[in-house]
Structure formats: structure tokens, C-alpha cells
């Protein structure tokens, strides 16, 4: 299969899904509630916003402006469509750009937010680089996938090998907490998102979409192989979800 065809199928897999990673609005609200009372006029940066379900929820709850950044224009178009429908588009500035070269001046934002996206930068590197963007006393809220066990020998070889290949920078929860402390953040809260947040908005819709595409491309063996690869991650979670999960880290720059 040529790269163009592979890109088309991958785009079809993820087009118009509720989210591009585990999460839900309830967990977004829970993380936001940790910050307590928020004044008017806040400036928030949502990094790797995807199709923007959490962006829209932030816009509903925050009296200020949300800058939503992603490198995928398809996701940004979907965000704008959803935000217009929700009546919050006027509060959101949508930017097509890379988290590796955002170009915002230092101390531009009161809150930096990133759900299921910091892994692209790496947890430590992301927290270090994004701190520059925060105003004094600002907040950074991210969700990241972590091993729930500190002793890697307790983790079955199959799932450990899978994520060592797919996400080699994945840390244990305690390692991430140590990084937060080392970088001088105050950890206000840390909580694991429930399994339902994986299935409802991500794995469930993705699994259904893959099933539809397997019918569409039933006579193309390379396409079926690509689609089957997309099911492997889902099956790994079914079998081994007790060993890892997505955790929210709610932090304040000290």
C-alpha cells in the first residue's frame, strides 16, 4: 500500500470521532474544578486540541479566550463546526500549528491545557517547555498515559512489549509525579480517568468505525492489515487495563 492510500484510510479511521484520545467532559470539568474560582478575562491555550470536545467544554466554563492549537486541519475544521453549534465559537481562536514551534511570547497564558497530547513532546520536555508560556502563578493541566505499577516486573510481557514499542516514553505514575516536583510545579491534584472515558468517546467509536471500513475495503488485503493493527491497541486495553491508564495532572507554576 502506498503512503497516500495509508493516509486516506488512517484519516477515515479518525474522522469525526468524538475525541482523538481517552477522556470525557466530566473529567475535564473535574480537572478544571481543582483550580477553584477563576476570574474573568483568562487566556487559555489548549495544545493538541484535536476535534475540540474539551476545548468547547473549557469555553463553556471559562470567561475568557481559548486558543486551540493542532497540526491537523481536519480536526480544526471539526472543532469549529462543533463550537459553532455549541454557541462558543466566538470565544475560541483556532490555530493550525505544531506544539514544537508555537511561537507564542513567554507568559502569554493563565492556563495551559493538553489532554492526551503531551506524549508527543514527552512528559518532562512538555512541562519544561510549556512553563515558559505561563503567567506567574499560572496553571498547567495535562493528561498522560502511565503505568499504574512501579515494579515493571509486575506487568505482563505482552502489554509491556506493546507499549514499549508504541509509546517508548511512557512512565510510571510515580515517575511523572517526581518529574512534576523536580520541575518546580505544585501538584494540586492527580487522578485516573475511568475506563468508561476510554470506551465512550474513543475506543468504542473507533472500533465501530474500523468495522465499517473493513467492509468497505474487504477486497484490499493491505488495507485490512492496517485496520486490524488499529484493533490491537483496543484489545490490549481490554486485556490489561488494570496495568495502565490515563491520569490527569493539575499543576501550578510556583
> pLDDT digit string (tens) for 30-52?
999 999 999 999 999 999 999 99
Q: Domain containing 183: what range?
A: 21-147+169-196+244-253
**End-to-end alpha-carbon separation of the chain, Å?**
51
The packing angle between helices 3-14 and 204-216, to 10°, is 130
Q: Whole-angstrom Cα distance, residue 20 to residue 115?
A: 10
2 pLDDT above the threshold of 80 = no
Averaged pLDDT score across all residues of the chain: 95
pLDDT of residue 1: 64
Mean pLDDT of 64-89: 97
Query: And the C-alpha cell for 56?
Result: 468547547
Residue 78 in domain: yes
**Residue carrying C-alpha cell 491545557:** 113
Q: What's the pTM value of the predicted model, to 2 decimals?
A: 0.94
pLDDT digits (tens, 9 = 90+) for 127-177: 999 999 999 999 999 999 999 999 999 999 999 999 999 999 999 999 999
Residue 120 in domain: yes
Mean pLDDT of 213-221: 93
CA 19 to chain CA centroid, Å, is 8
Residue 12 in domain: no
pLDDT digits (tens, 9 = 90+) for 178-194: 999 999 999 999 999 99
Q: What CATH code is carried by the domain that includes residue 56?
A: 3.40.50.150
What number of helices (H) and strands (E) belong to the chain?
Answer: 10, 8
231 pLDDT above the threshold of 80 = yes
Q: How many CB atoms are located within 10 Å of the residue 228 CB?
A: 11
Query: And the C-alpha cell for 199?
Result: 470506551
Question: Following DSSP, what letter does each residue of 188-229 receive, concatenated?
Answer: EEEEEPPHHHHIIIIIHHHHHHHHHHHHHTTT-HHHHHHHHH
Mean pLDDT of 19-31: 95
Residue 185 in domain: yes
Residue 112 in domain: yes
Comparing CA positions, the residue from 145, 140, 138 lying closest to residue 117 is: 145
Q: Given phi > 0 = left and psi -120 to 50 = alpha, else beta, which region is 171?
A: beta
Residue 11 in domain: no
The total of structural domains in the chain comes to 1
Q: Whole-angstrom Cα distance, residue 21 to residue 197?
A: 9
pLDDT digits (tens, 9 = 90+) for 77-111: 999 999 999 999 999 999 999 999 999 999 999 99
Residue 219 in domain: no
Mean pLDDT of 204-218: 95
Amino acid at each position: 500500500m502506498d503512503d497516500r492510500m495509508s493516509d486516506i484510510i488512517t484519516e477515515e479511521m479518525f474522522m469525526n470521532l468524538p475525541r482523538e484520545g481517552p477522556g470525557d467532559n466530566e473529567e475535564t470539568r473535574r480537572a478544571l474544578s481543582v483550580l477553584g474560582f477563576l476570574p474573568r478575562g483568562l487566556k487559555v491555550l489548549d495544545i493538541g486540541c484535536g476535534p475540540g470536545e474539551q476545548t468547547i467544554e473549557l469555553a463553556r466554563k471559562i470567561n475568557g479566550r481559548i486558543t486551540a492549537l493542532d497540526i491537523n486541519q481536519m480536526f480544526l475544521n471539526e472543532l469549529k463546526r462543533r463550537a459553532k453549534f455549541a454557541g462558543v465559537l466566538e470565544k475560541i481562536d483556532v490555530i493550525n500549528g505544531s506544539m514544537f514551534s508555537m511561537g507564542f511570547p513567554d507568559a502569554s497564558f493563565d492556563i495551559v491545557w493538553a489532554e492526551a497530547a503531551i506524549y508527543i513532546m514527552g512528559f518532562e520536555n512538555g512541562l519544561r517547555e510549556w512553563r515558559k508560556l505561563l503567567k506567574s502563578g499560572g496553571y498547567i493541566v495535562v493528561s498522560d498515559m502511565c503505568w499504574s505499577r512501579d515494579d515493571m516486573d509486575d506487568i505482563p510481557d505482552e502489554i509491556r512489549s506493546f507499549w514499549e514499542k508504541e509509546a517508548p516514553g511512557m512512565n510510571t505514575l510515580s515517575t511523572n509525579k517526581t518529574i512534576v516536583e523536580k520541575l518546580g510545579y505544585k501538584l494540586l491534584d492527580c487522578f485516573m480517568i475511568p475506563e468508561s472515558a476510554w470506551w465512550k468517546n474513543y475506543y468504542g467509536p473507533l472500533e465501530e468505525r474500523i468495522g465499517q471500513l473493513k467492509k468497505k475495503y474487504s477486497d484490499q488485503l493491505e488495507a485490512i492489515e492496517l485496520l486490524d493493527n488499529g484493533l490491537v491497541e483496543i484489545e490490549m486495553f481490554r486485556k490489561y487495563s488494570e496495568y495502565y491508564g490515563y491520569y490527569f495532572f493539575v499543576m501550578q507554576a510556583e
